[in-house]
Amino acid sequence: MMIKQFPGVVMFSSFAVFGSFPLLGYVVFPTFFPDMTTESLFYSACAVTGIVLFGMGCVKSKFSATNWFLCGMETLLLGGACATVAYTIGQLVDGLVDT
């Protein structure tokens, strides 16, 4: 692999690894808790995602001169806001499209 491609590979790997965490709520929890409803699976996926976002922010603080808690909260709030906007847009589009 050429050195100029390395940042792209790192970015793809990070996206693939951290992007899979929201799915864990739907894949792992039903294995251990088979009676979970769809709604509780959604909330568990949101909780796992929030924990991972906060953790990513805490790790980010190691590379900046910012307090770990503030970095964690910043990442959690920004990621949560982006997820909320994406979910809302998905709900609006779903209402416009006949299935």
Q: How far apart are CA 20 and CA 23, in angstroms?
A: 5
Average pLDDT over residues 71-75: 96
Name the pTM for this structure: 0.80
Residue linked to tokens 């805490």: 58
Percent share of the chain, pLDDT over 90: 56
Q: Does residue 24 or residue 13 have the better pLDDT? A: 13
The percent of residues above 70 in pLDDT, for the chain, comes to 98
- Alpha helices (runs of H) in 20-67, residue ranges in sequence order: 21-27, 29-32, 38-60
DSSP at 61: G
Q: Give mean pLDDT, residues 9-37.
A: 88
pLDDT band at 97 (very low <50, low <70, confident <90, very high): confident
